[in-house]
Amino acid sequence: MFYWFMKYIVAGPIVKAVFRPWVRGAENIPQTGGAILASNHLSFADSVFLPLMMDRRVSFLAKSEYFTGKGLKGRLVKLFFTATGQLPIDRSGGKASEASLNTGLEVLGKGDLLGIYPEGTRSPDAKMYRGRTGVARMVLEAGVPIIPVAMIDTEKVMTVGSGIHIRRIGIVFGEPLDFSRFEGMESDRFVLRSITDEIMYELHRISGQEYSDVYATSVKDKRTRARR
């Protein structure tokens, strides 16, 4: 109930009035049943804009640190992420990655929509980077369609260290991708890479972003070391 209150009474009207989002391809979102929304990731605000511009509820897998903060700020952050339909996951790898997969599969098993950022982290420079294969494994395990989503200009609204800027943003929903031909091959790493690359190619096509075939985390780590 709180999710819908925030969506239609509080945050939704404000976002639409201030940022005037335009949407293309909304008819590609299935009206019922589980599906994965695989989106590029330009800004922290992506997880706010995307759910607010959809009729169906969508849940995102968010790093667990957002839910464990201390004090008033920590409680407010947790409240915000819960209200926007995000689920805490541990991204440290190993058994934690398996738990994250299972959390996503539970959402899809209920016939709900799950939002995923295949790049694994926000782009540091508005380029698109190599996708992580976890999204491919989830697609095959769940047997659901995957809809590519391109967030447009959201990095110009909210950038790290520069506050919020008022400008129009856009969302493009691509046509659903079907990988049922790879059913039962979720343990084949070459298949997982092939599926992931196909997803990233489609995201690159509908977003118009420049593509770089390295992981975004590697670029961030390199920049961090250079500043030391």
Please give the pLDDT value at position 128.
Answer: 97
By C-alpha distance, which of 24, 73, 83 is closest to 48?
83
Give the DSSP letter of residue 7: I
| Torsion of Cα atoms, 181 then 185 then 191 then 196, to 10° | 80
Percent of residues, the chain, with pLDDT higher than 90: 57
Please give the pLDDT value at position 100.
Answer: 75
Q: What is the mean pLDDT of residues 87-111?
A: 76
Cα-Cα-Cα-Cα dihedral sign, residues 68, 73, 77, 82 = positive
Q: Is the pLDDT of residue 94 over 60?
A: no
Q: What is the mean pLDDT of residues 154-179?
A: 88
Percent of residues, the chain, with pLDDT higher than 70: 85
Please give the pLDDT value at position 225.
Answer: 83
User: Which residue in the block uniquely carries the two structure tokens 């697609």?
Assistant: 139
pTM (global) more than 0.95: no
CA-to-CA dists, residue 71 to 41, 77, 85, 88, 122, angstroms: 29, 10, 22, 18, 26
Please give the pLDDT value at position 215.
Answer: 95
Please give the pLDDT value at position 84.
Answer: 66
Please give the pLDDT value at position 77.
Answer: 67
17-72 pLDDT, tens digit per residue, is 899 999 999 999 999 999 999 999 999 889 889 988 988 999 887 766 666 777 87
- Assign domain 2-59+93-227 to its CATH architecture: 3-Layer(aba) Sandwich (3.40)
Which tokens belong to 93?
């790898």
